[in-house]
Structure 1
Amino acid sequence: MPFVKTTWRNSISFKVLLAYVAGVGLSILLIALGAVALITSRSDILLTTDVAERTHELAGKLMFDVAGHPTGFDDSEGDRVWTFKSLGVEIGYRVLDSQANVVLASTDEAFWSPVAKSPPSDQGRFKFEREGMLMYAATAPVERDGTIWYLQFAVSERLMELLHQGFAWPFMGAGIVLFSLVLLFVFGACAYFTLGYALKPLREVSESAAAISPRSLHSRLDSKTVPSEVAPLVSSFNSALERLEQGYRVQQEFLATAAHELKTPLALIRAQIELMAPDKTRDSLLNDVEHMTRQVQQLLLLAETSEAHNYSFAAVNVGEVVQQAADYLQRMADAARVGIVLTGHTATQTPWQADRSALFTLLKNLLENAIQHAPEGTQVRVQCTADKLTVRDWGSGVEQAQLPHIFTRFWRGAHRRDHGAGLGLTICQEIARAHGWTLVAHRAEPGLAFCLSPPVTDSPSMNSSQESS
């Protein structure tokens, strides 16, 4: 049974990777849209939040003298306190006591003049305008020795927008791009190799299933290494194999038993007919019995060749077996006035791994079939080389449309001299399959040619696995 090839669109790996790429693409799109929305909206909430966070950060760095009064900020960690001197128009801070008295400031009082005169404890996050500029500000309480001080920090809207749009957002955009590339390629590679590792047991199970044939129905798929989601399917397949093997064994046993049981009655019938007075009826009955006996023998032989344990493989000289088969059928060929010509058989010294008896049966059936279809005065030629054996006759052959049926059970050609059982070529094909050989038939113009060859990779002999069959 050939291994079924699936299209890439039906691949689980492709579908999972496609879903992964789609998810990554959607995530990147949403992140980019959110970033664009933040840039274009100039959200007051965002700016106010930034100012409040900066205010609380400065409050944690406020320094005091021995009397507990604010004196400045700890700039040992490079907290950019210098910006208050350089950007005094855009940014500023001041420290108030509980009565809203200014005890420390980075700017003059005019900077804070628009701020309402209210207790600093009531001023959390707020905004005010100074010289036409919108200022964002926030207040953070600081407790020192039981005294509460209030730090107020303010920054202009245009400075915040400059920092965001000129510095923060470009870096954020670069970060989004870098994150997207890492997500797409690094995690994509991980997903690809993970899928390959996860689906490897499925590929192995599929190959094992494809290798199962009527001669290896005892084989079972290993369900221990497959994913748990697929294990029930493998178990069901093994159960189906058990039922199939049982049915096949019963069929083969019935075929062999029936053929064996028919041999004795046919022999008795033949003996009784031979005791009759010679006449046309007696001759007709003997022909019928002979035909039935041949069918029974062929059925029994077919049952035997279908069982792998009936074979004993060894190194066999094909040329010698060809000569033996030709000698065995020489009287049949003489009676049909057909010559048997052997070429190359004496030069074939390289042995094939085969069951000698089965190989003899195969060659005998091919030669017998060729003799039955060869016209009087023609030849049946057997050409034997190291990697191929060809049996050809010069008869009428078969139609091209009939070639696919030539190895079918009980199929018979229209130009045979006898009334065969139609199982000879089927037996040949069974023997060839058991050995791993290839047996094909093709029109020879005129006549028909059968070509027998071992596997290409193991030519001219079979691999050792056949020996353990």
Structure 2
Amino acid sequence: MGEEDGLGFNPRTLHRSMFGQLALITVLFVGFGVYFFTIRPLLSVEPSGVADPLARTATRASDVLSRFAFAEREKPGSGDDLSQDPVLREIEAHNPNFRYFVRVNGQNYRRGEGTPFFISLAFDRLERQNLSAAYDGLCLNTARDEVGGRGKSFLAYADCGGQRSYYEYAGIEHPTTTAAASSAQLYGKFIWSYGGLFLFTVGAAFVVFAVILLINMLRIRRVAAMARDLDPDALPGLFPERGLPLEVTPLVSALNQMIVSVDEAQRRQRFFLSAAAHEMRTPLTVLRTRLEILDEGPLKDKLVSDVRRLTDLANKLLTLMTIGEAEDAMRDTDLVTVTGRVVGERETVARKRGLDLRFEREVTSYRIRADPGLVETAIGNVIDNALSFSAEGQVVTVRLDKAGWVRVRDQGPGIPADQVKALFEPFTRISTRGRSGFGLGLAIVKSVIDRHKGAVEVSAPPGGGAEVALRFSPLQTEGDF
């Protein structure tokens, strides 16, 4: 996992998120419940001895031997072969001193060396006295744990109505693997009986809360994504307030109010600049006309040049303010034709300055959906800049490649690296070779490119100079989808 996961969480600040706080509270609550409902009862209640793996092993041995003794007593020969019993064989594998002795109806079944408890404790003499036959209705039964020897031992004697059975075992010192697993299962059941309901309740509640929280977080992230992609120059409609948590609605409402305020401020700014630029054109035209009737001389030339520059500024401001307002102007356009026309219009100017303006193309046609007037303006501004910063005898090349890039390259002084980032900001001027401008040409280019969802790049090619590349996306047809 990186700094953030798929939902935008930063693990270092997870405690500040609603989901992290919910998870932390759940962990603390579950920890308290596990102690209070599971660990604490286990500390105060002694589990049944059957949970002890060694005791469980001894119990399994008793079960096998008692079933065999009962079956043989009821019907001789019906008992299974004790030497092949899997339980006894497993016990033997873990306990080399294990032995057993079974006597039913005068028949002996045994395993292991040593004197059986049946003889050492005189059960054989008791059998010879035949008390149950001497006293009608008498039943003798006895059972003893830990009779003697190493490990766990046990014996059981039964004599009722002349039917006698006896079995014993000794030497169980180590539990079997099956017994240990069974003990763990029993212990787990014991824990679950105390804390299972609590854990299930907490887990279900956490899942429900988490699902509700995640759904609301996805809604919040949708609004956040819209805000992150917000373009101040092209504000969208208001963000939806319906379907959001009540806790977040005031924030979204405040954001919508901010959008309305910013949009209104932009409208006033655009209106002021457009109106100012438009109103400046008439008096500037009148002023230029009046200057034309003055006597020829350096002062007149200077005044006419200044008026021309002011008129150009007004025209560029008006162009910058009106980009993107006419939606119907977008139509199928041939980029080769538009670029060729722009280059042709500037060939005369280039020749007068002693420059070689060339147009190279890798395709004969390249269709785009665009406003042809704006595309001409953008390409023309880039070419004008290249011509402006080129010296007599140099070459300015305009090349249209197969990918739709219009690349304008000059052999001028180039663009300082520290000014590239601010190059497309309004009123950013690059002054080299005594050239200067208002810094609106490339700002208009950037606005046109943004309007067409294209791209613009500035680079310093080998050999000096600068290259400005404009990218226009090709026109999509039904076959492209």
| TM-score, length-scaled by structure 2 | 0.63
The answer to whether residue 394 in structure 2 is matched with residue 378 in structure 1 is yes
Residue number among 1, 7, 12 corresponding to 2:10 in the alignment: 7
Residue 253 of structure 2: aligned partner: 235
Residue 344 of structure 2: aligned partner: 327
Residues 349-373 of structure 1, C-alpha deviations (whole Å, 9 max, x = no match): 3412211111111111111111111
Amino acid at match of 2:239: L
The answer to whether residue 359 in structure 2 is matched with residue 342 in structure 1 is yes
Query: Structure 1 residues 29 and 448 mapped into 2: Cα distance closer, same or farther (>3 Å)?
Result: farther
The answer to whether residue 240 in structure 2 is matched with residue 222 in structure 1 is yes
Amino acid at match of 1:293: T
Residue 246 of structure 1: aligned partner: 264
Amino acid at match of 2:19: S
Residue 204 of structure 1: aligned partner: 222
The answer to whether residue 369 in structure 2 is matched with residue 363 in structure 1 is no
Residues 191-234 of structure 1, C-alpha deviations (whole Å, 9 max, x = no match): 44333222121111112222332343251100012111111111
CA RMSD of aligned residues (A): 3.1
Query: Structure 1 residues 463 and 201 mapped into 2: Cα distance closer, same or farther (>3 Å)?
Result: farther
Secondary structure of the 1:216 match is coil
Task: Please state how far the C-alpha of 1:374 moved relative to its aligned partner.
Answer: 1.9
Residue number among 30, 36, 44 corresponding to 1:38 in the alignment: 44
Matched residues in 1 for 2:383 and 2:328: separation? 22
Query: Structure 1 residues 187 and 308 mapped into 2: Cα distance closer, same or farther (>3 Å)?
Result: farther
Matched residues in 2 for 1:432 and 1:365: separation? 12
Paired residues for 1:119-134 under 5 Å: none
Secondary structure of the 1:404 match is coil
Amino acid at match of 2:235: L
The answer to whether residue 387 in structure 2 is matched with residue 351 in structure 1 is no
Structure 1 residue ranges without an equivalent (≥5):
43-164, 465-469
Q: How many residues align?
A: 333
The answer to whether residue 276 in structure 2 is matched with residue 258 in structure 1 is yes
Query: Structure 1 residues 354 and 334 mapped into 2: Cα distance closer, same or farther (>3 Å)?
Result: same
Amino acid at match of 2:301: D
Residue number among 409, 421, 430 corresponding to 1:404 in the alignment: 421
Residue 442 of structure 1: aligned partner: 459
Residue 474 of structure 2: aligned partner: 460
| TM-score, length-scaled by structure 1 | 0.64
Structure 2 residue ranges without an equivalent (≥5):
1-6, 49-182
Amino acid at match of 1:20: T
Residue number among 460, 469, 474 corresponding to 1:451 in the alignment: 469
Query: Structure 1 residues 333 and 184 mapped into 2: Cα distance closer, same or farther (>3 Å)?
Result: farther
C-alpha contact (below 8 Å) 1:439/1:453 kept by paired residues = yes
Amino acid at match of 2:388: Q
Residue 312 of structure 1: aligned partner: 329
C-alpha contact (below 8 Å) 2:30/2:199 kept by paired residues = no
C-alpha contact (below 8 Å) 1:291/1:419 kept by paired residues = no
Query: Structure 1 residues 355 and 13 mapped into 2: Cα distance closer, same or farther (>3 Å)?
Result: farther
Task: Please state how far the C-alpha of 1:417 moved relative to its aligned partner.
Answer: 6.4
Task: Please state how far the C-alpha of 1:415 moved relative to its aligned partner.
Answer: 2.2
Paired residues for 1:72-83 under 5 Å: none
Query: Structure 1 residues 166 and 411 mapped into 2: Cα distance closer, same or farther (>3 Å)?
Result: closer
Secondary structure of the 2:247 match is coil
Secondary structure of the 1:214 match is coil
Amino acid at match of 2:262: L
C-alpha contact (below 8 Å) 2:336/2:364 kept by paired residues = yes
Secondary structure of the 2:45 match is helix
Secondary structure of the 1:415 match is coil
C-alpha contact (below 8 Å) 1:362/1:427 kept by paired residues = yes
Residue 276 of structure 1: aligned partner: 294
C-alpha contact (below 8 Å) 1:218/1:245 kept by paired residues = no
Residue 422 of structure 1: aligned partner: 439
C-alpha contact (below 8 Å) 1:353/1:461 kept by paired residues = yes
Matched residues in 2 for 1:400 and 1:352: separation? 32
The answer to whether residue 31 in structure 2 is matched with residue 28 in structure 1 is no
Matched residues in 2 for 1:394 and 1:26: separation? 77
180-189 or 239-248: bigger deviation: 180-189
Query: Structure 1 residues 410 and 239 mapped into 2: Cα distance closer, same or farther (>3 Å)?
Result: same
Matched residues in 2 for 1:25 and 1:257: separation? 70
C-alpha contact (below 8 Å) 1:348/1:384 kept by paired residues = no
Regions of 4+ moved over 6 Å: 165-169
429-438 or 348-357: bigger deviation: 348-357
Query: Structure 1 residues 190 and 261 mapped into 2: Cα distance closer, same or farther (>3 Å)?
Result: same
Residues 336-395 of structure 1, C-alpha deviations (whole Å, 9 max, x = no match): 2222222225x1534122111111111111111111112222222222124322221111
Amino acid at match of 2:298: K
Amino acid at match of 2:371: D
Task: Please state how far the C-alpha of 1:167 moved relative to its aligned partner.
Answer: 11
Query: Structure 1 residues 322 and 417 mapped into 2: Cα distance closer, same or farther (>3 Å)?
Result: farther
Task: Please state how far the C-alpha of 1:405 moved relative to its aligned partner.
Answer: 1.2
Matched residues in 2 for 1:31 and 1:341: separation? 87
Residues 33-62 of structure 1, C-alpha deviations (whole Å, 9 max, x = no match): 4223423799xxxxxxxxxxxxxxxxxxxx
C-alpha contact (below 8 Å) 2:361/2:399 kept by paired residues = yes
Identity %: 23
Matched residues in 2 for 1:13 and 1:348: separation? 58
C-alpha contact (below 8 Å) 1:411/1:422 kept by paired residues = yes
Matched residues in 2 for 1:340 and 1:6: separation? 55
C-alpha contact (below 8 Å) 1:24/1:183 kept by paired residues = no
Matched residues in 2 for 1:450 and 1:176: separation? 75
Task: Please state how far the C-alpha of 1:188 moved relative to its aligned partner.
Answer: 5.1
Residue 168 of structure 2: aligned partner: none
Matched residues in 2 for 1:260 and 1:207: separation? 38
Residue 450 of structure 2: aligned partner: 433
Amino acid at match of 1:38: S
Query: Structure 1 residues 287 and 190 mapped into 2: Cα distance closer, same or farther (>3 Å)?
Result: same
Matched residues in 2 for 1:254 and 1:462: separation? 38
Secondary structure of the 2:326 match is helix
Matched residues in 2 for 1:16 and 1:407: separation? 48
Amino acid at match of 1:13: F
Secondary structure of the 1:353 match is strand
Task: Please state how far the C-alpha of 1:283 moved relative to its aligned partner.
Answer: 1.0
